[in-house]
Amino acid sequence: MTDISKTKSSFYRRLYVAHLLASGTASVPAVMEATGMPRRTAQDTIAALSELDIDCRFAKGESERHNIGRYVVYDWGPIDPRWVAKHADRLRNSLGYPEIR
């Protein structure tokens, strides 16, 4: 991981998590596994996507009880998801996250 500011790492983390959610890594445990971040950080990062005007909501599975479902990115707001996808490896490397298997 290269040294980046807290502001930049927070921004990159949100972009990368939104990318993961939109790409099918769509639950808190899956984000934790893909990034190595603690549960609370994953939850807080998902909740903070709205600060970037990214509309991400939990979609409960049909006929599922409790909180079984996945997160869905409905709108990327001002963010270009194609740019994020193209630069996902750079974001991941900057944050020091492991390569996705």
β-partners of residue 57 are 72
| Side chain identity at residue 10, one-letter code | S
14 CB burial (10 A radius; 0-12, 13-18, 19+): buried
Span 36-75, pLDDT tens digits: 999 999 999 999 999 999 999 999 877 656 667 899 999 9
- What is the structure's pLDDT at 3? 82
CATH 2.60.40.1120 fits 6-93, yes or no: no
Q: Average per-residue pLDDT in the chain?
A: 92
Span 37-46, pLDDT tens digits: 999 999 999 9
Question: What letter would DSSP give residue 100?
Answer: P
- Write down the domain spans for the chain: 6-93
- What is the structure's pLDDT at 23? 96
